[in-house]
Chains A and B, each alone.
Chain A
Amino acid sequence: MTVTAEPPVVAHPSEELTGVANILKRPTKTHGFWSWFTTVDHKKIGLLYIITGVIFFVFAGLEALLIRLQLAGPNGTILTADQYNQLFTMHGTTMVFLVGMPIAVGFGNYLVPLQIGARDVAFPRINMLGYWVFLFGGLFLYSGFLGWNAPNTGWFGYTPLSSTPESAGFLPGDGASYWTIGLIILGIGSTTSAINFITTCLNMRAPGMTLMRMPIFTWMLLIIAFLTLFAIPVVTAALVMVYMSREFGALFFTGAAGAEPLLYQHLFWLFGHPEVYILILPGMGIVSEILPVFSRKPLFGYTVMVFSGLAIGFLGWGVWAHHMFATGLGPVTVTAFSLATMTIAIPTGVKIFNWVGTVWGGSLSFTSPMLYSLGFIAMFTIGGLSGVTHSISPADTQQTDSYYVVAHFHYVLFGGLVFAIFGGMTFWFPKVYNRMMNEKLGKLGFWLMFIGFNVTFFPMHFLGLQGQPRRTYTYPEEAGWTTLNGIVTAGAFLIALSVLVFVINAFYSWKKGPVAGPDPWDARTLEWSIASPPPEYNFAEIPRVTSRDEFWHRKYTEDDEGRLVRLPAGAAPAIEEPRDDVHVHLPSPSYYPLILALGLPIMGYGAVYTTYWLVALGAIVFLFGLYGWAVEPDAE
């Protein structure tokens, strides 16, 4: 393509609008504040997901600090029992549905199209819908806090506690209704984004980007998209049953009517255990991208990594009942699920050995993303080992509902997922903002978090084995848990400090950080082969992919002895220069996904308070968004 003097950058079709579509003209602005409300650009949506997720992470952290203040000493009086219930419920719900899942989806949104050499995702407007549904669903859940009316059943919402009608005086407030409706709304968002990711990964890859050349992070996103697709409807069904029982007197879980309260637990954990892998697999993907770059070696055993990810995805469906060992399932069931749970340790162990193999013999540079990744391996391994102790059912019946379990899942989800998220944010920051994050602050943040994390969660193992129960808002002095709880609370504040350091670092580096350029880490995958920040159209020319770690092989080759040799400049078109002559038809922004999403919380409030005119109003907003969407001219 020759450079012409023509100025147009990106062509957005501006067709004549007729009829209904005239009510709102299709927006065209792609820059400025208001463009964020109508954007269908996967990179902007990805950032929206991540930034919103980090804000919810701060909320969840504040809830955790309040919980820890309450438990710092015996007979705490900072919170009432009911407030404590709401805080730990919302802490868990937030971390799972409003932090872990959306931030992973945010990384996926930003990176998957760049890593597979695509210009956008398969369904840009559905992608936009997913974000707004997530945001409104999250705000809907949090609106319960106005008047201390937030969800208070625990993030799992066990029946019959959650499903008994409020009039029975079983559980005060509308919390359980907020929780069921809020999770149904969030599930809609997750399902749309899963459909979008699957279609994008399967259909939008650049020529030559075969499945076994896909970067490992994209692979993990594809796997969790399938898990989300099949797990979310199961919990949605369970939530509908809870809602119908609570508001309309259905008897799904009423023991007096001969029902089986365990039905709910089976349905919930049939979702809940795949959900655990939905949370951790993206973290594994992020780490698998970072380690090779800073070890200057390809990922050890790429194929095995892909297949062990798939194995975790499959096996994850057959282990749900290990969350229910204490409910009296009977020896045969318990044994079967015990064994199935132990087998999960095999693909997980394979992954850990592969990470070690990646680092082994590499020329390592200990940048802060690398530190977070190494921290991930160590902490996740500890969490994995305590996880295996849960699979042994006699031991598990001792550990159930104690702080030992709290220690375990924080080691895998905080030591695993959150470390990976912070590592990933530091790693890709230069790509997004074209500025490096400050390394000194980055390392300070990492060590504060690493120490704070261990001070917080390691003593919980002991507390659990000494018998401190979860979800209990206070404890007597005679229990002898005072010292360790004090240490745990101090650790929690160290974590808070480390997050503060990260946030300050991010703002400071966003303004003042040194300019990064397209490929500051000498990295391996395609997103580094384009300008930072990536232009709106991503790739001026769709890349042709001929190997795994495509970008690396454009920069390096090997000599006779297998040593790395950098290709002379100009030997291969390694980095694509930004150009202003690209004529790419990109999908136009739209208002309608936002409007459609807005209908959902309105219907939600109507459902919580069984106010039918509000449901009708929400349905009208929803349908208006749907029809506007349907008649909006297509972008292509």
Chain B
Amino acid sequence: MTTTEPQLEPRHAHDLEDEAAVGTPFTNAKLGIWMFLSSDFMFFGAFIAAFLLYRSRPQPGVTLFDVVDIPFTSATSFVLLMSSLTMVLSLAAIRRGDMRRMRLWLVMTAVFGMIFLGGQIFEFTTFYREGFTLDGNLNGSTFFVLTGLHGLHVTAGIVWLGTLWMLSVQNRLTTHDEQKIEIAGLYWHFVDVIWIVIFMIVYLVPAPG
């Protein structure tokens, strides 16, 4: 140190302007949901890796490529994608303070999600009837667990949206709570994005060999 006078005061007393605001530009809740989603991404990553590892191995019995109906799944996937649009519209509505439209779009989002789920249930039963099963071969094990867990995520999202709708009807959710819609929306979009990945990798990549 080169100062000449003995500094019998806190060394830092001079630089109080240094007390810069710290923290991220995100609220706690938003940072938290992003962290959760990044974790969930790893979860799906492991199942997708397992599917890819096994998809081109020769296996006995009926595989996905024997039973898959791409036009049908494309249609339900399209419905799920549209639900992301309605989710955005719902958030835009609450930002305008239009609670009625917010609820309407929320219900539309949930209904689209249910159509997708219904399609998945129909698809699963058809596959089972045609002999493509969880315990039939590796292709079946990896397919049903991966898409089934995605279906569970969609179900959780529908319950979440339904809860927000119910709270809004009871006036427990007001225009101040736009962040709650936004966070549910982030989760919903995440589930959609995961489906896009699954749809491309699992359904659209042609059968091996």
Residues of A near any B CB (own CB < 8 A): 19, 122-123, 126, 191, 194-196, 198-199, 202-211, 229-230, 232-234, 236-238, 240-241, 244-245, 248-252, 257-260, 263, 267, 544-547, 553-554, 557-560, 562, 565, 567-568, 571-572, 627, 630-631
Contacts and interface: CB of A to CB of B under 8 A. Distances in A.
Contacts of B36: 191, 195
A328 B46 CA distance: 22
B47 interface: yes
Contact of B22 (A205, A241, A259): A205
Contacts of B140: 251
Nearest to B25: A203
Contacts of A208: 18-20, 22
A565 B1 CA distance: 14
A249 B134 contact: yes
B138 interface: yes
Contacts, number: 167
Given A560-B4, A630-B167, A258 B145 contact: no
| A-B pairs, 8 with minimum CB distance | A237-B46, A249-B135, A546-B12, A233-B43, A208-B19, A250-B141, A233-B42, A122-B28
A567 B47 contact: no
B42 to A, nearest CB: 4
A348 to B, nearest CB: 25
A237 B31 contact: no
Given A251-B137, A553-B12, A198 B43 contact: no
7 contacts: A195-B39, A205-B22, A233-B41, A237-B47, A252-B138, A258-B137, A562-B1
B178 to A, nearest CB: 15
Interface string B131-160: 000110110111011000100000000000
Nearest to B11: A557
A630 B163 contact: yes
Contacts of A249: 134-135
Contact of B138 (A244, A257, A560, A568): A257
Contact of A251 (B39, B47, B141): B141
- Residue with the highest number of chain B CB atoms closer than 10 Å, among A208, A545, A562: A208
Given A195-B35, A258-B58, 17 more contacts: A123-B28, A195-B39, A199-B32, A230-B42, A234-B46, A237-B43, A238-B46, A240-B149, A248-B135, A250-B144, A250-B145, A251-B137, A258-B138, A267-B46, A557-B10, A565-B6, A567-B10
A259 B54 CA distance: 7
B1 A560 contact: yes
A572 B20 contact: no
Contact of A544 (B7, B16, B35): B16
Given A199-B31, A241-B50, A248-B135, A191 B23 contact: no
Interface residues of B, number: 58
B67 to A, nearest CB: 18
B19 A546 contact: yes
Interface of B: 1, 3-4, 6-13, 15-16, 18-24, 26-28, 31-32, 35-36, 38-47, 50, 53-54, 57-60, 134-135, 137-138, 140-142, 144-145, 149, 163, 167, 170, 172
Contacts of A248: 134-135
A545 B16 CA distance: 9
Nearest to B43: A233
Given A557-B10, A559-B6, A560-B6, A259 B138 contact: yes
Contacts of B26: 203
Contacts of B41: 233
Nearest to A248: B134
Contacts of A244: 134, 141, 145
Nearest to A264: B50
Contacts of B38: 229-230
A546 B41 CA distance: 38
A251 B23 contact: no
A210 B39 CA distance: 26
A546 B35 contact: no
A627 B163 contact: yes
B104 to A, nearest CB: 21
A263 B53 contact: yes
Contact of B53 (A210, A260, A562, A630): A260
A241 B145 contact: yes
B43 to A, nearest CB: 4
- Residue with the highest number of chain A CB atoms closer than 10 Å, among B27, B45, B46, B134: B46
A123 B36 CA distance: 13
B39 A544 contact: no
A203 B11 contact: no
Contacts of A252: 50, 138, 141-142, 145
B27 to A, nearest CB: 8
Contacts of A211: 22
A199 B141 contact: no
B54 A204 contact: no
A232 B45 CA distance: 12
A122 B26 CA distance: 12
A572 B42 contact: no
Contacts of A232: 39
A210 B11 contact: no
